[in-house]
A = this chain, B = another copy of it.
Amino acid sequence: MSKYWSSITKSVEPYVCGEQPKDKKYIKLNTNESPYGPSPKVLNAIKSTADENLSLYPDPGCDKLREVISCYYGLGKDQIFVGNGSDEVLAMCFMAFFNKGEPIIFPDISYSFYPVYANLYNIDYKLAKLNEDFSIPVEEFLTKNGGVVLPNPNAPTGKCIETEGIKKILKSNQDKVVIIDEAYVDFGGNSVVGLIKSYPNLLVVQTLSKSRSLAGLRVGFALGQEQLIEGLNRIKNSFNSYTVNRVSNAAAIAAIEDEDYFKKCVGKIIDTRELTVSRLKKLGFKVVPSKANFIFITNPEYAAEELFRKLREKGVLVRYFNKERINNYLRVSIGSEKDMDIFIEKIEEIIK
C-alpha cells in the first residue's frame, strides 16, 4: 500500500491469469489456447506489415477489420467494435453500460475477471448461484438489475445456456444491457448473434484468442446495435484512440477471412475433446458436458488439487481453482491429439 495510490488502486483485487511458466517446457493445458498455430495466411499478413508504414499510426476506427467482421456475421459495420483482446472489450463494456449503485448480475462460477472489472469501476454486483449441475438459473437473472454478464458457454464449466433462456433474460431486462460473452462459442455452442437485430440491449463479445489461434496477438470484438457500439467508442476514445495496432489489424482480417482453416482447427479440437471425454469417463472421471475448447472434470476418488500438482510435476499444466463448489474440479484445455495422449497417460500413471 502506498500513499501515492488512488482510492481505486488501493481497493482493486487484480485478476491472476493462468501460469505462463518459464522454468521448463510443459504440455500447456491451462489457459485455453489453441494447439494449432494461426492460419498461414495470418502469418503472411503479419510479415507483410513489417515495413516502413509502422511509423504511422494505425487506423483508429479499424474500418477494414470491422467491415470483414460485419460481412462474416451479416451485421452492419457500425454494429462492430474491436479492441486489444476481449478482456479489454469487456473492461470497456463494464465502464460503458453499468452504473454504481445499480447491481449487475453474473454467475457465481464464471470468468473470474468479471468481479475484478466490477471492483475497478466500483460497480455493485450480485452473484447468481449456478444450479447443482452447473446450469444457469435463468430465473435469477429476471429480477431487477443494472445489467447482466453471461458467458456462453460458461467458463470454467464449458456448459451452454439455451437460446430460449437468453431470450427470457433479454426480454426481462429491456432497459439494461445484457452482455453474452461468447469467447468459446465456436467450439459447438449456440451463438446469439442472430438475436442482435431484435434486441437493442444485447451485446455479444467474441475473441480471436481461442478458435482463431491468436491469443498472442490480442484482438477481441463486440457485436451489437449501433447505440451500444457508439457507447463503447465513447469510452475507448476517452482512453486510447488506437487500441489495435497495424499488425494485429492485418492479422485479424486474414484470420476472419480464412474460414477453411478456422473450421478445420475447430473441427479437430471438437473431435479431440470428445475422444478425451470418453477416455476420462472410462477412467472414472465425471465430465461436465462441454461446448468449449476445455473440459471441467472431477474424480470422486482423487482430490483435484493433488491431481493438479502431480500433473504439473509430470510436465502437464492444467488449471485448478481453489474456490468453493469447484475446488474438486480441474479445467483442462483441449490440446493436440498428442498433447491429450500424454495427458491421459499421465493421469493413468497418477491414479493407477
**Chain B residues within 8 Å of A287, by CB:** none
For A42, the chain B residues whose CB sits under 8 A away are 54
Nearest CB of B to A124, in Å: 13
Given contacts A87-B240, A91-B239, contact A97 B216 (CB under 8 A): no
**Does A107 reach chain B (CB closer than 8 Å)?**
no
In the bound complex, CA of A297 to CA of B232 (Å)? 36
Please tell me how many copies of the chain the complex holds: 2
Are B217 and A246 in contact (CB-based, < 8 A)? yes
CA–CA, A234 to B14, complex, Å?
6
Instruction: Please give the number of chain A residues whose Cβ is less than 8 angstroms from any Cβ of chain B in the complex.
Output: 86
Given contacts A54-B37, A238-B15, contact A20 B85 (CB under 8 A): no
Complexed CA–CA distance, A33 and B55 (Å) = 6
A7 at the interface (CB under 8 A from B): yes
Residue A348 CB within 8 A of the other chain: no
A4:B245 contact, CB within 8 angstroms: no
Contacts of A79-119 to chain B: CB distance below 8 A = 84-85, 87-88, 91, 95-99, 116-117, 119
Expressed in whole angstroms, the minimum distance between the Cβ of A256 and any Cβ of chain B is 15
Residue A201 lies at the interface, judged by CB distance under 8 Å to chain B = yes
List the B side residues contacting A331 at CB < 8 Å.
none
Query: Chain A contact residues: over half helix, strand or loop, or mixed?
Result: loop
Roughly how many angstroms separate A3 CA and B97 CA in the complex, as a whole number?
9
Could you tell me the distance in whole angstroms from the C-beta of A203 to the nearest C-beta in chain B?
A: 9
A5 / chain B contacts, CB cutoff of 8 Å: 96-97, 227, 231, 234
How many angstroms between the C-alpha atoms of A116 and B87 in the bound complex?
A: 22
Asked if residues A84 and B243 are in contact (CB atoms below 8 Å), the reply is yes
Most buried by B among A14, A57, A176: A57
Report A7 CB to chain B, min CB distance, Å. Answer: 6
**Is A47 an interface residue, CB under 8 A from the partner?**
yes
Is A215 part of the binding interface, using a Cβ–Cβ cutoff of 8 Å?
yes
Select one of B2, B95, B238 contacting A231, CB under 8 A: B2
**Residues of the B chain whose Cβ atoms lie less than 8 Å from the Cβ of A84:** 84, 240, 243, 245
- Say yes or no: A97 contacts B9, CB within 8 Å: yes
Q: By the criterion CB–CB under 8 Å, are A34 and B55 in contact?
A: yes
Instruction: Tell which of B37, B59, B248 touches A53, judged by Cβ atoms closer than 8 Å.
Output: B37
Known: A57-B216, A216-B55. A3 touches B241 (CB 8 A): no
Task: Provide 12 A-B residue pairs closer than 8 Å at the C-beta atoms, listed in order of the A residue.
Answer: A4-B97, A4-B227, A6-B97, A6-B98, A9-B96, A9-B235, A15-B241, A17-B57, A37-B54, A49-B216, A87-B239, A88-B240
The 10 closest A-B pairs by CB, nearest first: A37-B52, A14-B237, A2-B227, A216-B246, A55-B213, A54-B216, A46-B50, A43-B50, A120-B238, A17-B241
Given contacts A4-B176, A9-B234, 7 further A-B pairs with CB under 8 A are A4-B97, A4-B175, A12-B234, A33-B57, A44-B50, A55-B216, A216-B245
Enumerate chain A interface residues (CB-CB to B < 8 A): 2-9, 12-18, 20, 28, 31, 33-38, 42-44, 46-47, 49-60, 84-85, 87-88, 91, 95-99, 116-117, 119-120, 175-177, 200-201, 209, 213-218, 227-228, 230-231, 233-235, 237-243, 245-248, 251
